[in-house]
Chains A and B, each alone.
Chain A
């Protein structure tokens, strides 16, 4: 197997007596979708926050394309190409779709200290932005304020912003949350295309989406990875069925 893009090893994080991340090992390889599932309170959010740099781990390492990133701040990690989407859609509500994506292009370019040229007249920003808006299927909403988008459209905007970061890896935190059946189907198709851009670490509750998309699945329970394997292996794993899937024919 090729070298992993993202390599989390022996990561630990405690809050007082509670161990939220307990010796977690996790890899993300080129071209794959690796799903992270687990019951509420299993520590998925805490793990994501450590990977993106919002929380500092107590012990362990995070490598990104071979380089240690666990001491960099969140902005530096984003610029290396670690693109994330948020659990609750977190776009800038009174910016238009275009302004939101332009902001991401600008962030990736690393040049925010320019004071004169209007961003919307700068092809170096708008051309990539329009391209990613098209990629995410939002072309008709380019000039709509993000606040006026539907829930599904906001999800797409998040993905367009992630694409604009010229990502080396995606970290998508529950992209399916709150989507209707129809919206979920288009989003699954979009995510499936996305893997050709960069591998995806997918935190998701929607089992249909996970089983449709993921190449590998890891199950997190009480801060520990209790199983990692292909979709079929995970479906068959008795411990996973007991601790998480609850014996349902999920």
Chain B
């Protein structure tokens, strides 16, 4: 196995082994922390798909994280109240089935990303960063101002949605569901990046002029990558809503976009398991430093600053000894 492959396997082993050990030791809170790390990692894997491999610096992925969350919260609350979501053009009811909620969340995020991406990809460089940030903020303000689903206060649904055959309220089971999806997303990313689409996407990032000269238009490739990326992050948002049984505009806030980016960067941009390492470190820091000082985000800021200025390969870069790939 290559050194990068070893690091990938080791990181996943730490996450999964840690959760199982915590379960055996009866530390249920640690299992929940590991679940949170897996969900954040999934959000980061989504962003990494566009940012790491496609060079699309989206500062608006909270939009998809939050939309995925709201789709979940809205469907669950309607399932609970029994009130149909809409009666036009035909009656559509809420649901508490994860297997129905996930595709719906991903569909909504995919459509939103199609619209946002089609507009944002007309620009590049700093414009792209600002435009994705602005569109995410638009959705944020919309959620704050729309009273139907809680507005500023958010929306609670008291019971976690159900997954066939298992008890999703049991922490280790719920961890297994989330980690299973994370592994699927990692396999999907690795597969796509080795296939034609991934080759074209990475080529368009590294040398767009050359890519055009061999007859490949970057726009469609990038837009597709942006949509797929948003769908993965949206799925993570759905899980995060289920983790907390609560959604609020905070999931759509630009700080969330920044944090998803931090998961990717702490770990290492454009590296398969970079977001896994980044999310684990983030959750660990939040838990450990948050206990030491209520000002822990300042410490996170210092660590982030240090990594950007002095270790641009992130954690996985340090572990593999390789330079960063972007």
On whether the two chains bind one another, the answer is yes
Report which A residues bind B (CB closer than 8 A).
Answer: 52, 54, 73-76, 78-79, 84, 86, 90-95, 99, 102-104, 106-108, 110-120, 122, 125, 161, 164-165
Given known contacts A94-B325, A115-B191, A75 and B217 CB-to-CB distance under 8 angstroms: yes
Contact with A along B188-228 (1 / 0, CB 8 A): 00011011110110110011011111111100110010000
Task: Tell me the bound Cα distance from A118 to B210 in angstroms.
Answer: 21
The chain A residue with its CB closest to the CB of B197 is: A115
Other A-B pairs beyond A74-B212, A103-B203, A110-B215, 16, CB < 8 Å:
A54-B209, A75-B217, A79-B215, A86-B210, A90-B209, A90-B213, A94-B206, A99-B199, A103-B214, A112-B199, A113-B197, A113-B220, A115-B196, A116-B191, A116-B192, A165-B214
Report chain A residues within 8 Å CB of B224. Answer: 113
Query: Within the complex, what minimum Cβ distance (angstroms) separates A168 from chain B?
Result: 13
Q: Give the number of chain B interface residues (Cβ < 8 Å).
A: 25
Report chain B residues within 8 Å CB of A54. Answer: 209
Given known contacts A115-B197, A118-B195, A95 and B203 CB-to-CB distance under 8 angstroms: yes
CB pair A112 B192 closer than 8 Å: no
Candidates A86, A90, A103, A116; contact of B200 at CB < 8 Å: A103
Report chain A residues within 8 Å CB of B213. Answer: 52, 74, 78, 84, 86, 90
Q: How many A-B residue pairs have CB under 8 A?
A: 97
Given known contacts A107-B216, A115-B191, A92 and B210 CB-to-CB distance under 8 angstroms: yes
The chain A residue with its CB closest to the CB of B216 is: A107
Of B192, B212, B224, B325, most A-chain CB atoms within 10 Å: B212
Task: Tell me the bound Cα distance from A104 to B200 in angstroms.
Answer: 10
Task: Tell me the bound Cα distance from A106 to B212 in angstroms.
Answer: 12
CB pair B195 A106 closer than 8 Å: no
CB pair B196 A114 closer than 8 Å: yes
The chain A residue with its CB closest to the CB of B190 is: A118
Contact with A along B179-194 (1 / 0, CB 8 A): 0000000000001101
CB pair B196 A119 closer than 8 Å: yes
Query: Within the complex, what minimum Cβ distance (angstroms) separates B220 from chain A?
Result: 8
CB pair A107 B195 closer than 8 Å: no
Report chain B residues within 8 Å CB of A52. Answer: 213
Query: Within the complex, what minimum Cβ distance (angstroms) separates A73 from chain B?
Result: 7
CB pair B206 A93 closer than 8 Å: yes
The chain B residue with its CB closest to the CB of A99 is: B199
Report chain B residues within 8 Å CB of A93. Answer: 206-207
Contact with A along B158-196 (1 / 0, CB 8 A): 000000000000000000000000000000000110111
CB pair A78 B325 closer than 8 Å: no
Given known contacts A74-B213, A79-B215, A112-B216, A106 and B206 CB-to-CB distance under 8 angstroms: no
Report chain A residues within 8 Å CB of B214. Answer: 78, 103-104, 106-108, 161, 164-165
Query: Within the complex, what minimum Cβ distance (angstroms) separates A167 from chain B?
Result: 11
Report chain B residues within 8 Å CB of A76. Answer: 215
Query: Within the complex, what minimum Cβ distance (angstroms) separates A154 from chain B?
Result: 12
Report chain A residues within 8 Å CB of B221. Answer: 112
Task: Tell me the bound Cα distance from A106 to B213 in angstroms.
Answer: 12
Given known contacts A78-B213, A107-B215, A112-B221, A92 and B207 CB-to-CB distance under 8 angstroms: yes
Given known contacts A114-B195, A115-B191, A118-B194, A75 and B207 CB-to-CB distance under 8 angstroms: no
A and B contact pairs by CB, cutoff 8 A, 29 listed? A54-B209, A75-B212, A76-B215, A78-B212, A86-B213, A90-B209, A90-B210, A91-B207, A92-B210, A93-B207, A95-B206, A102-B199, A103-B211, A103-B216, A106-B196, A106-B200, A107-B216, A111-B196, A112-B221, A114-B196, A115-B196, A116-B192, A118-B195, A119-B194, A119-B195, A119-B196, A120-B194, A164-B214, A165-B214
Given known contacts A75-B217, A94-B325, A95-B203, A112 and B210 CB-to-CB distance under 8 angstroms: no
Of B203, B211, B215, B217, most A-chain CB atoms within 10 Å: B215
Candidates A79, A92, A104; contact of B206 at CB < 8 Å: A92
The chain B residue with its CB closest to the CB of A122 is: B196
Query: Within the complex, what minimum Cβ distance (angstroms) separates A172 from chain B?
Result: 12
CB pair A92 B325 closer than 8 Å: no
Query: Within the complex, what minimum Cβ distance (angstroms) separates B192 from chain A?
Result: 5
CB pair A113 B196 closer than 8 Å: yes
Query: Within the complex, what minimum Cβ distance (angstroms) separates B320 from chain A?
Result: 15
Candidates B195, B207, B209, B212; contact of A116 at CB < 8 Å: B195
Task: Tell me the bound Cα distance from A95 to B206 in angstroms.
Answer: 9
Report chain A residues within 8 Å CB of B212. Answer: 73-75, 78
Task: Tell me the bound Cα distance from A201 to B220 in angstroms.
Answer: 31
Of B197, B207, B210, B217, most A-chain CB atoms within 10 Å: B210
Query: Within the complex, what minimum Cβ distance (angstroms) separates B216 from chain A?
Result: 5
Report chain A residues within 8 Å CB of B192. Answer: 115-116
CB pair B215 A92 closer than 8 Å: no
Query: Within the complex, what minimum Cβ distance (angstroms) separates A83 from chain B?
Result: 8
Query: Within the complex, what minimum Cβ distance (angstroms) separates B59 from chain A?
Result: 25
Report chain A residues within 8 Å CB of B196. Answer: 106, 111-115, 117, 119, 122, 125
Query: Within the complex, what minimum Cβ distance (angstroms) separates B200 from chain A?
Result: 4
